Amino acid sequence: MSEADFAIGIDLGTTHCALSYVDLNAETDGEGGIQGVLQVPQLTAPGTVGELPLLPSFIYLPHETELAAGDLTLPWVEQPGYALGDFARSRGALTPIRMVSSAKSWLSHSGVDRRAGILPHDAPEEVNRISPLQASTRYLEHLKESWNNQFPDKPMDRQDVTITIPASFDPAARELTAEAAELAGFQRANLLEEPQAALYSWIQGSQGEWRKQANPGDIILVVDVGGGTTDLSLIAIIDREGNLEPHRVAVGDHILLGGDNMDLALAHVVGAKLAGQGTQLDPWQLRALTHGCRAAKEVLLGDADQESIPLVVPSRGSRLIGGSIRTELTRDEVRNTILEGFFPQVDAAARPISRPRAGLTQLGLPYAQDAAVTRHLAAFLGRQAQATEELPGFEGRAQGASFLHPTAVLFNGGIFKSSLLSERVMKNLNLWLEAEQAPPARLLSGADLDLAVARGSAYYGKVRLGGGVRIRGGTAQSFYVGIETSMPAVPGLEPPVMALCVAPFGMEEGTEADLPPQEFGLVVGEPVRFRFFESSVRRKDEVGVMLESWLPEELQELGEIEVTLPAEGRSLGEVVPVGLHAAVTETGTLRLEASPVTGEERWKVELDVRQP
């Protein structure tokens, strides 16, 4: 790794990707450093290649007659067979059945086979669908080719690459991201959680000033609201022999809720207003309106004096003046929809409302049912009330607290450019804190809301090579394998399941867990499946602990895991006693292996199993 010239950070986002880089040879101190953001060549129209700092995470699979020869040509490939980026998004908006979007959310959806061609989700038969894994691979490939195109002497596979993932990604989604990087031809890429990347970017951007803004004993809440996901993390600052050490203590659930939902909600509000006046919008017009609402929202949330913004839904035909629809978005509409809909003032005891799902739900993405970010935040802090108890310097802090008390907040994501939204979150939080006689939390200033994740991950690459403050903490979950207990069969009753801890909380990269004493009998040549669980609150469970019962919110069930013992040197059907061994790789993925009690062999346990 030492021959790398650049540390490259890739923000592989739900709606956009970005690539930032740090020159490792540049003479800089630990927390400064010159950074660049790659201008990514991409199709902006048929046969037209423009360079933009963001690569929209969309793929368009055109009909064979739809485009002329050469319309998809990129500087590095003549006939890619698909469009990716800006043009894919704009064309796909007109023909959604051929557009792949939100591949990242699908990649983390354990209810589907993520290696199977399932995207676009609602494509007709004749479209050659691709898998969420393939889509992610293509985005990474595109970024790699863009880089190699601009830096032919410094190919990507010789640089130190970091790819960001939501902190809430489960082990299977992490592994799939690492696999996508491998398939895209990255020699090695590290994974970094997005809220951590945001904090790294803030540390770097402060040019050393962060030591004045953060103190030992601080608990920093990172609120990262992206285009499609909301990601929460808690990072404690501990004093390690006189040095400040950020320690990530907890991460939130995977919440599919983001800025795009807000723009869409506004478009529907305006659409309903127009419908009341007798004007019906078609999907194309609704999309144009969503676009207009996004820009208008930013102005109305940012400028207190602006009462309303005129919106024009352009006609689809060439008659622009005669065919366009005039309307407006008012400040009250934005406030009611965004502030009260997505950031309502709630109690610390509030929890997201979950409606019972309808009997026949379409197989789709598990979008958050409650749009209120503040309720998700209250639930997260409530669940993590005890998160810092184990840390040196934090003992006893949580006594009498019904939720974990952050002392500082770092925001990330473009929507927080509106100070109204960040103020509303701060106000919620500080009212909760006041109710429990805790001091108000501070807002950490100076964050780069749009590019922090890409920048922070490039900086992390530099930190890994020994050039700055590193966030510690390891895995934010402990992991369990479900074991069915033997009992007489009772019709209609599932046999009770016990959970065996195989990986404790806080495993650092490049470490292995102890081998649990329990043994399993695996049948040679047959795939054997286990139920798999994680917990973000059981911090003290050690390897080998067997849970007979737990509270529903303590353990979350993940997708099943599977292991197959090859028949080499054994007879099919033979039962071999094995132990389950967990490790966290240098890349940052969880690795589970089965190894026979007698012998040195190891077999990989698949975390991402095809759904039956």
Residues 6+ apart with CB under 8 A from 599: none
Q: Is 48 in the site for other proteins (CB under 8 A)?
A: yes
Q: Is 319 in the site for other proteins (CB under 8 A)?
A: yes
Work out how close the CB of 152 gets to other proteins at its nearest, in angstroms, rounded to a whole number.
17
Q: Is 316 in the site for other proteins (CB under 8 A)?
A: yes
Q: Is 358 in the site for other proteins (CB under 8 A)?
A: no
Q: Is 321 in the site for other proteins (CB under 8 A)?
A: yes
SS3 for 309-370, per residue? EEEEECCCCCCHHHHCEEEEEEHHHHHHHHHHHHCCCCCCCCCCCCCCCCCCCCCCCCCCCC
Q: Is 71 in the site for other proteins (CB under 8 A)?
A: yes
Q: Is 47 in the site for other proteins (CB under 8 A)?
A: yes
Binding segment for other proteins among 193-201, 319-327, 376-384, 530-538 (CB under 8 A)? 319-327
Question: Judged by CB, which is closer to other proteins: 312, or 401?
Answer: 312
Q: Is 386 in the site for other proteins (CB under 8 A)?
A: no
Q: Is 466 in the site for other proteins (CB under 8 A)?
A: no
Question: Judged by CB, which is closer to other proteins: 70, or 566?
Answer: 70
Exactly one of 272, 320, 353, 572 binds other proteins (CB under 8 A); that residue is: 320
CB atoms within 10 A of CB 484: 12
Q: Is 97 in the site for other proteins (CB under 8 A)?
A: no
Q: Is 357 in the site for other proteins (CB under 8 A)?
A: no
Q: Which two tokens stand for residue 190?
A: 């590290």
Contact 212, 229 (CB under 8 A): no
CB atoms within 10 A of CB 314: 15
Binding segment for other proteins among 66-74, 397-405, 529-537, 567-575 (CB under 8 A)? 66-74
Work out how close the CB of 79 gets to other proteins at its nearest, in angstroms, rounded to a whole number.
11
Binding segment for other proteins among 200-208, 245-253, 311-319, 371-379 (CB under 8 A)? 311-319
Residue 154: strand, helix, or coil: coil
Residue 171 and residue 365: Cα distance in Å, rounded? 18
Residue 329 and residue 532: Cα distance in Å, rounded? 48
Binding to other proteins by CB under 8 A, coded x per residue (else -) over 261-300, reads ----------------------------------x-----
Q: Is 310 in the site for other proteins (CB under 8 A)?
A: yes
Q: Is 322 in the site for other proteins (CB under 8 A)?
A: yes
Work out how close the CB of 324 gets to other proteins at its nearest, in angstroms, rounded to a whole number.
6
Binding segment for other proteins among 309-317, 373-381, 524-532, 576-584 (CB under 8 A)? 309-317
Beta strand 408-412 with 442-443 is: parallel
Beta strand 243-251 with 230-240 is: antiparallel
Contact 189, 147 (CB under 8 A): no
From residue 535, alpha-carbon distances to 30, 360, 446, 471, 475 in Å are 35, 29, 34, 21, 11
Work out how close the CB of 60 gets to other proteins at its nearest, in angstroms, rounded to a whole number.
15
By C-alpha distance, which of 136, 224, 143 is closest to 178? 136
Exactly one of 1, 34, 45, 304 binds other proteins (CB under 8 A); that residue is: 45
Q: Is 149 in the site for other proteins (CB under 8 A)?
A: no
Q: Which two tokens stand for residue 427?
A: 């106000």
Residue 139 and residue 177: Cα distance in Å, rounded? 11
Question: Judged by CB, which is closer to other proteins: 322, or 492?
Answer: 322
Work out how close the CB of 247 gets to other proteins at its nearest, in angstroms, rounded to a whole number.
43
Work out how close the CB of 52 gets to other proteins at its nearest, in angstroms, rounded to a whole number.
8
Residues 220-249 within binding reach of other proteins (CB under 8 A)? none
Q: Which two tokens stand for residue 93?
A: 């908006």
Residue 598 and residue 587: Cα distance in Å, rounded? 29
Q: Is 46 in the site for other proteins (CB under 8 A)?
A: yes
Binding segment for other proteins among 316-324, 489-497, 561-569, 591-599 (CB under 8 A)? 316-324
Binding segment for other proteins among 69-77, 257-265, 440-448, 496-504 (CB under 8 A)? 69-77
Length of the chain measured in residues: 612
Residue 194 and residue 473: Cα distance in Å, rounded? 14
Contact 563, 524 (CB under 8 A): no
Residue 335 and residue 342: Cα distance in Å, rounded? 10
Token pair 């909380």 in the structure block, residue:
505
Q: Which two tokens stand for residue 437?
A: 């006689």
Work out how close the CB of 327 gets to other proteins at its nearest, in angstroms, rounded to a whole number.
9
Positions in the binding site for other proteins (CB under 8 A): 41, 44-51, 68-71, 73, 75, 295, 310, 312, 314, 316, 318-322, 324, 326
